[in-house]
Structure 1
Amino acid sequence: MKNIDQKATTQGNELRSRPYDLAVIGAGPAGSLTASLAATAGLKTALIEKEQMPRDKICGGLISSRSLSLLPKEIHIPRAIASPVYDLTVVRGKKHYHYHADEMLGLLTDRRDFDHFLYHCALHREVEPFEKCRVSTITGICQGDDKKQLFTIGTNNKLHPALQTRYLVGADGAYSSVARLAGLRKGLHRPCGHGISAQLTSNETTESTRIEFYPLPLLGGMAWSFYRPGQVNRGVGGLASTHNLIAAYRRLFSPAPGEKKVRGGLLPFCGPLLPVGAGNLLLVGDAAGLVDPFSGEGLFNTFISARMAVSALIDAENSTQTAAVIYNRLVADYFRKGFLPTLIGAILLHGRSILQPSSMPVSMAALAKNRLFFNRHPSLPENLNLFHLA
């Protein structure tokens, strides 16, 4: 990857005279997949990241099998950075409920490595990278149906103070600066949950890869321990405040040698606040509020939104409608058919577990196996061909 690293570092000394077809802000999984698919479809694409890659990411590091199924078929995640997992345990007090799956449940990875891998996949598809570029201004935003709008993105990078693009995708997280600058989140959007996690090193390099979940119904969430050779990731996520989550973390897990600092992040899992786009500007992933309300997983809906966004961009090229009109319709349809039932199910599950605590481990394990790992594409819009770009 040396030539790609050089490309990412140099980035070119001058902006091209012709505007980009698409600029994606945020080089996490949402941004990298969106940029990769768009470039494959023939759009001249820029990928803008405020930090230098690779960078750390707060996450448990579990990539479910259903999330993996949404990646283009030619993307093969190296086993050097990811370990397959087949064993699931749900822990409730002193009781342990073990499940072994014949089909791979998913992969365990360090998000720093996984995000960097997807980023390089985008660069290999001729996506132009702009690292250490924090977006400060966006002009040219149109709330109407003007298909001829042209965005000018201002950054704090002296080498690349500005660039222009026909389409713009915000993939910059739960508190998206793109959403804020575009006026799509006027004080209404508040992530509904928090997650905290810590990474531990382990001397057991032969330790089996496995995942453990700990239901926490009173906190509206769960804790986890993910084990892979030489590494353990453990954390807590839910509706509670960060303070209460840290207290639960300390109550569940004993201090361990080599434990890194516990860090926290936001989990916007109450669904998208429509619209998730305006004109030819779209929001994907956490920026669109698409975290799974049952598990707190973000990657599955992130990858779906990336594919929806690129599908909308392609359709907009040959339509009188803007990309946002098409994309908002797709997201609303998916929210109604797939996301909303999951949200209702999560609420009912946590409510039942408070009234009947003994039912939680069995119910959670069954739902985890069926919904989190193997339910590939629940109730997706019929007019969305998820694999036509793969």
Structure 2
Amino acid sequence: MTEHTTAPSGLDIVTVDSITDIGRDHWNRFAGTDNPLVSYDFLEALEASGSVSRDTGWQPCHLTFHLDGHWIGVAPAYRKFHSMGEYVFDWAWADAWQRHGQPYYPKLVVAVPFTPCQGPRLLIPGPARADLAPEQLHQALDHLMAREGLHSWHLLFPDSDDQALLASPGTLHRQGCQFHWFNRGYQTFDDFLAQLTSRKRKSIRKERRQVAEQGITFEHWSGDALPDDVLDDFFLFYTATYLKRGMHPYLNRTFFQLLAQRLGKGLRIITASREGQRIAAALFIMGEDTLFGRYWGCLDDYNHLHFETCYYQGIDLAINERLARFDAGAQGEHKLVRGFEPVTTHSWHNVAQPGFRDAVAHFCQEEAEDVARYREAALEALPYRQEPQESAGRYSS
């Protein structure tokens, strides 16, 4: 645990070098059970497997929050030595900073590694949260940045509860856009299709039919009953997806094995098979009200297989499990015509150098205006027969 001095705001942040220094009981007391992506089991599996470490450029630096001598919360955080695996891209910032002879890395990133999913980041329960103001939080993070000798901090993909605790005039606030599917009480996939225009409904049915006509079938596997050969095949497909792009995968087999053991029925792998051989797979994680579609892979190309495995099978799973939302990951305008709705994502940042900070603030303002226009255009392109009602919940915007 780091030495510390109290920030001017009265809120103090102390860092630890591993989530094991906090322990499962303490971490989960603050994290709760609604979102498995911020659970002790998920984050510790990243560390235990070596997927996050100084060697991979993700050095654990988890935050513990203290107010008036009381421990009030935690947050997943890392010293980052590059900008990979974050999905809020600051490569241009790093390049500009370094061209002026200043080191951009390491930086402090408050996030779930390799996970562009909105959710809680400031794991501070309600009573203590009510005593905090956004200015206190920003001052405490700035104080931590200076104390640790870092040049910037970045808090990625917070939910609306955290956004309310971060929103403050003059702060560096970025926005992006993702596409999420919302379950409006559907009992079957056909109930969902009935809400689409005739043309889009026929298009999706045609895609699903063409997958079946290729002789492709699907199986669902639960983490608590996952055969080794299924995990082996999934990891092969996952790795191939990265190698096709000339990249090494972020995660290793040990991580997925630990995750299956720890999440049990909360983890699902859906495999696609043809002529008795598995040809593709996708991994999903279930939270209290949300299905997270995380990783996928396939060795060869098959017509519409990606859409079926990652989206339509996921929608079926969300309906069957009575989940309110399906977050299928970052980017992907192709999700829009398949009923996934545009959702604004958020991140907060600060940089130590005043002149550079002014340039970043201008960039964030212009980017937010572009994102707002993009989202409005995406809403108009949704394939529903009637405009969907505003999606309720902590993740909609």
Normalised by the size of structure 2, how large is the TM-score? 0.22
Higher helix content, 1 or 2: 2
Normalised by the size of structure 1, how large is the TM-score? 0.22
